[in-house]
Structure 1
Amino acid sequence: MKEIKIESTLYVYNTVKDLPSDVQDLMNNAHQARDKAYAPYSKFNVGAALLLDNGEVVIGSNQENASYPSGLCAERTAIYYKGAKYPEAKILKMAITASSQINKTTEPIPPCGACRQAIVEYEINQKSPIEIYFMGETGKVVKSNSLKNLLPLVFDKSVL
């Protein structure tokens, strides 16, 4: 038997105000997107904003449906819109914020597993990492220099 040790490095900022100014702006875009979420079932609103290498900012919010599997998370909404509108652009940074209509979310909330898989596909295809910043409604913000810190054993097209 062989042991494999996997390590991830994440960075924690105490508040949005501690982030670099461009990331503050990106997180503000994510907050605005979060306010447009359609989440009547989960009551959990998520907003995402992407900064592209062409200078564009793309946003997304979660969109639920009474047929639960038919909804889509904010991160994938933003990523797929980027793919449709700016297919050649690279994603440099992603900001994510989540809030609950029931409880105050003060801890950083990372992307779900399905979103991690979607993000890593774009990261691999563009051959460069995507900085990911995530938070709750308020409080600390976590930064990962690459999705691979959040999903270290990736499943990608190389195994197909």
Structure 2
Amino acid sequence: MEERNFTISYQAFSGLEELNEEDKALCLKAEEALKTSYSPYSQFKVGTAVQLKGGRIVLGSNQENVAYPSGLCAERVALFKIGSEDPDAVIESMVITAKTDNFVIENPVTCCGGCLQVMAEFEQRQKQEIVVLFYCINGEILKVKGIKNLVPFLFKETRLSV
């Protein structure tokens, strides 16, 4: 038996004022994406802003449905939009943020496993790591480079490729 350990790397910022201008602007775009959230059931709005190589920014927000499994997370809304409109685009970074009127969100909200897997596949396809920021409005911001720092055992099976 061999014991193995993971080491993940990320940066923590106490607020927007500590970020560089590009990351700060992307966080504000993610906040803007919250306005299009359709979340009448959970009342938990999630927004994302994705920065593509070349500067284009794509927004996404969570879209709920009374049949809960039929909804989509903000991250997948934005990523699938990119995949369907510009499949050769290279994603440089993305910000995820959340808001609700029901309570104060005190920590950055992270992605679900399904979104992480989709993010990992985009990263594999483009052969370039994605920088991900988890932005707690009026709170801490976490910055991670590469999806493997979020999901070290992500599903990857190269024999399924064509």
The alignment partner of 1:26 has SS state of helix
Q: In 2, distance between residues paired with 1:127 and 1:106?
A: 34
Q: Which runs of 5+ in 1 are unaligned?
A: none
Q: Which runs of 5+ in 2 are unaligned?
A: none
CA RMSD of aligned residues (A): 1.1
Aligned to 2:67: 67
The alignment partner of 1:54 has SS state of coil
Residue 159 (structure 1) shift: 5.4
How many residues were matched structurally? 160
Q: In 2, distance between residues paired with 1:96 and 1:159?
A: 32
Q: In 2, distance between residues paired with 1:94 and 1:100?
A: 21
Q: TM-score with structure 1 length normalisation? A: 0.96
Do the aligned partners of 1:37 and 1:62 also contact (CA within 8 Å) in 2? yes
Aligned to 1:46: 46
Flag as ranges the 4+ runs of structure 1 deviating above 6 A.
none
Aligned to 1:78: 78
Do the aligned partners of 1:105 and 1:138 also contact (CA within 8 Å) in 2? no
Q: TM-score with structure 2 length normalisation? A: 0.95
Do the aligned partners of 1:104 and 1:137 also contact (CA within 8 Å) in 2? no
AA aligned to 1:23 is D
Residue 137 (structure 1) shift: 3.0
Do the aligned partners of 1:45 and 1:101 also contact (CA within 8 Å) in 2? no
Residue 100 (structure 1) shift: 2.1
Q: In 2, distance between residues paired with 1:157 and 1:78?
A: 24
Q: Which residues of 2 match residues 86-101 of structure 1 at below 5 A?
A: 86-101=86-101
